[in-house]
Structure 1
Amino acid sequence: MNAFECAENAEEVFVLSDSFLRIKELIDNDSSTIDDIAEIIMLDPTLSITILKLANSSFFNYPGKIETISKAVLVLGITEVYNLVIAYFTTDAFKSITAAPEYIENFWEQAVDCALIIKFLGEELNVINAERLFILGLLHNIGELAVHQSMPGKIKACNSISDSEFPWEKQHSTIEFTYGECSGELLKQWQLPYSLIEPIRSQDEWDFEHATVEAKLLYLSKRIMLLNYQCKTHKPSSLITAEVLNDLNISPKMIVAANHFCNIERLSILSILSPGSAFVY
């Protein structure tokens, strides 16, 4: 089974809802209005509550109160609300997965950490609309859940690494593709934007010559996150080289601040997107 086949198999089980498809159609239609989009979102009470909780969280730091979906779309913008919709429906799609609660909790904790780190670094570098980077971090490893669905017996081997191995190398030697490659294929089959697919699909590639800022930041943010989890015993310099930091103009002080931001915001985001994972805190 290759990355495409694994994603194809997962797509048959983890299906994005009809509500998502209707919202996507409206957003892709230039003639749609804010009210059109808000009306479809409001048909799903759980989605509406999730978006309002996120919109009013410290994640966005909006000075006023956002009480309606229409105002959320107006204030945050259609693209950002669409990203929140994607976050909701992709996390919701995998709720039916058969896996140990501890495994799922750990998976979403790492995903949220990567999302918060990339958002923080994007803001520090004055990347326009840095909030949009959050969705890249959140979905960067979604392919792991697809692998768990198709080849549950391989997960333990893939995730068991020594301090001389990197996760993506172990994945490739075990299943002949990486979680990142599978993530990209799954998002492609879900017909999500190319701006999400490409950075996620190439997250393990050290080729910055033609890479976008988004791809570079995901490459770095993932490694910062891994040093707090799967790669705790690795030398930091083995994952994050001075060349990468210089290319992005990232200082060690910024990495410390990103981890601090993550520690502060993690619980609030987990409690909204993955309440079960928040219980560990």
Structure 2
Amino acid sequence: MHLAQELVASQNHLASLPNLYYKVREALLDQDLDIGDLSDLIAADPAITGSLLRIANSAFYGFPRKIETLSRAISLIGLDQVGEIVLASTLAAAFSGIRPHRMDMGRFWRGSIRRALLCRQFARSLGERDAERAFVVGLLSDMGHLVMYHAVPDLMGIVLDTAQDGLLAQAEQERSIVGCDFTEVGAALCAAWHLPASIGSVIACQLTPEQGGEHSAEAARLNLAISMAECLERGESAGASCPLLCDAAPDLAGVDLALMPVFAEHCEAQLESVMTSLGVS
């Protein structure tokens, strides 16, 4: 974990998220939150404001009239979704200038957003109260790779040239060649950003959810989302026959595999709209 922390620390521009994100997160935790005050806070960032308005006016929501004010957009989208959009917009901006050699950024963002959307759907299907947290976990789950490709591009090039197919094999090769894998770097990034420690714990055990202790179920849902997202990226059906990273994931997650086609359909219906709104399409 020490090496993972060093890789994160070497990327000065990623050492912390913009203050606005923390202010918005704090505001959303306030039981007496005033929509007008939140609107004023978010309006300080034109990029995030634009993302919220684009999403509110997207085909996914299908509101009959154009939404022109931030306060109206927040009211219609809902506070949970606002938190998700603010984080996604913040990450898109933080990584906007990063174009690592041999890393397909379009594929990276599609995968990250698919994971986030699927994790949120899993949480909602199980009646979890904090679906926004599930979205955040999915969105952050592969950020470790972005750091690694940028911090140690030559070593990651060797990993790509020598690893067998599949995320598990690549992670093993990362540990062998770099000294840590993307899950460790992702967890270190969460710590550097002062996100809840439990989020970093889930990301750290996303490939081995059975070792996640109290976070096993959440890590298993993320593991399942990764499997589904990879199927969708390959153009395959993300149903019960989708190859799994971890065979124990469905049982640990408590997710009904029979519902996978429905989850996949909902995910794909939202994907392009979210990517376009965030400017990462």
Letter matched to residue 215 of structure 1: A
Stretch of structure 1 that moved more, 54-63 or 264-273: 54-63
| 3-state DSSP of counterpart to 2:164 | coil
Counterpart CA distance in 1 for 2:220 and 2:269 is 24
Letter matched to residue 164 of structure 2: S
Counterpart CA distance in 1 for 2:63 and 2:120 is 16
* Paired residues for 1:159-170 under 5 Å: 159=160, 161-163=163-165, 166-170=169-173
| 3-state DSSP of counterpart to 2:128 | coil
| 3-state DSSP of counterpart to 2:215 | coil
* Paired residues for 1:79-90 under 5 Å: 79-90=80-91
Q: Residues 80 and 132 of structure 1 are in contact (CA less than 8 Å); yes or no, is this contact kept in structure 2? A: no
Q: Residues 144 and 179 of structure 1 are in contact (CA less than 8 Å); yes or no, is this contact kept in structure 2? A: yes
Q: Residues 201 and 215 of structure 2 are in contact (CA less than 8 Å); yes or no, is this contact kept in structure 1? A: no
Cross-structure match for 2:179 = 176
CA RMSD across the alignment: 3.3
2:274 matched to 1:272?
no
Stretch of structure 1 that moved more, 137-146 or 45-54: 45-54
User: Please, what TM-score do these two structures have when normalized by structure 2?
Assistant: 0.79
| 3-state DSSP of counterpart to 1:119 | helix
Cross-structure match for 1:19 = 20
Aligned residues: 271
The counterpart of 1:220, out of the listed 201, 221, 224, is 224
Letter matched to residue 36 of structure 2: D
* Paired residues for 1:145-156 under 5 Å: 145-156=146-157
Cross-structure match for 1:203 = 206
Counterpart CA distance in 2 for 1:259 and 1:31 is 36
Q: CA shift at 1:262, angstroms?
A: 2.9
Query: Percent identity of the aligned residues?
Result: 23
Q: CA shift at 1:111, angstroms?
A: 1.0
Q: CA shift at 1:6, angstroms?
A: 0.8
Counterpart CA distance in 2 for 1:82 and 1:195 is 18
* Greater relative contact order (CA < 8 Å, ≥ 6 in sequence): 1
Gaps of 5+ in 2: none
| 3-state DSSP of counterpart to 2:207 | coil
